[in-house]
Structure formats: C-alpha cells, structure tokens
Structure 1
Amino acid sequence: MSVDNNPTIFIGIAEPDATQFDAWSHQPLLVSIEQGGIDWPSSCRNGTCRTCFSKLERGQVRYEIDWPGLSAEEKEEGYVLPCVAYPCSDVVLQHQSF
C-alpha cells in the first residue's frame, strides 16, 4: 500500500438512502463507510468474497492490488469492491445484492 502523506477527503454518498460519509483517499471506501456509521455488507476485506460488491454510480476509484476480484466487464460497467477500492473523487455507491 502506498503512503499518502496528504490524504484528501472526498464526499461519499451511500444509496439508496443518500447517506453521506467522509471518503478518505488513504483508506478503502469500506473503512470510510463504516466510520460514517453506515452498515455495509462485508466479509473478507481483501477483494475475494464480493460481499461488498457495489455499483459506482458516480466518481472514480483506484486499487492497490493487481486483481480486485472483478471481471473486466464488471469494471467497465462501473462495479467496485469498496473493501479494496480507494476514492479518487467524490463517490456515489449503491450496494448490489445477488
């Protein structure tokens, strides 16, 4: 994981109820979501179980692992794994249930 000496704070919105949270650039979105008091489904926290599988409705994220557990098609369609996705902008997320 890279060291971010000057972390940026972005605005995060969790749908469907538009709950706002602080999305810090130096930590995975899931951590920021939980720090915001939002109960978000999660399990493994390493990008393999897909419990936190979400649609990135707006914004951009980056990954610090080579394979974040998403297919190329899912990435193209805007799906993310908040447990390993770091925000690069303000974000709006919608959890996807299977």
Structure 2
Amino acid sequence: MPTISHTITLAPLGASFSVQEDTTLLLALEAAGFDAPSSCRNGTCRTCICRLQAGTVAYTVEWPGLSFDEKREGFILPCVALARSDLVVDVPLARRVSFD
C-alpha cells in the first residue's frame, strides 16, 4: 500500500512541507528544518498547542490534552496529531532553524 502524504503550511510563515500520514506534525515540522515550542511529546503538557486553520487531523492518543471547546475552536496538539488532509496550521512561534 503506498504511503499517503499531505502538505502542511505554517502560518504566519507561509512555509510548506510534506508529512506522511503516520508521522506526527511536530516530528515532520522538525524534520523539515523548523522549530516550535514543545515539551512532553505525548499530548499532555500543551506546550505545542496551536490552531488548525484548514484541514483534518487524527490523534495518536484517544483524548489529547484539549478541552471539548478547544477542539471545537480548532486547537490541536502537533505532538500527537496526524494529518488526514493538507493542512494550514497557525504556529506563531515556529521558526526556521539556522545551522550557521
């Protein structure tokens, strides 16, 4: 079965990268050369919380550390989120990592 990938666009940077459906958004973001706040990487600390502007995600855990209202308002936890479509994600503190 072929691997499915989607395009992730980071707002407000406007930068894009690809992610496979079995890779969390946070891992894909880092692999693409970006940095964003994170800590626990298991959906509980909420350090990586950001807002999904467009698209659909699934989670690697049954109920990530988000309230019902936060989920309804489009907040996601990239450390445990998996892309199920192309996404636009508002990650205001994301930055491109410099290896200078």
TM-score by length of 1: 0.88
Where 1:31 maps in the other structure, the secondary structure is helix
Determine what percentage of the aligned residue pairs are the same residue: 43
Looking at CA atoms only, which structure, 1 or 2, has the larger radius of gyration? 2
Q: Which residue of 2 aligns with 1:66?
A: 62
Structure 1, unmatched stretches of 5+, are none
For residues 1-98 of structure 1, the aligned pairs below 5 Å read 6-95=2-91
The CA RMSD over aligned residues, in Å, is 1.4
In 1: Cα distance, 2:43 partner to 2:2 partner: 25
Runs (5+) with no aligned partner, structure 2? 94-100
Say whether the 8 Å CA contact 1:54–1:79 is kept in structure 2: yes
- In 1, Cα distance between equivalents of 2:64 and 2:91: 16
Task: Write out per-residue CA displacement over residues 11-70 of structure 1, whole angstroms, 9 at most, x where no aligned residue.
Answer: 001111111111210111101111111111111100011111010000000012112000
- The number of aligned residues is 93
In the TM superposition, residue 96 of structure 1 has moved relative to its aligned partner by 5.9
- The alpha carbon displacement at 1:84 in A equals 0.1
Q: Which amino acid aligns with 1:26?
A: D
List structure 1 segments (4+ residues) > 4 angstroms apart after TM superposition.
none
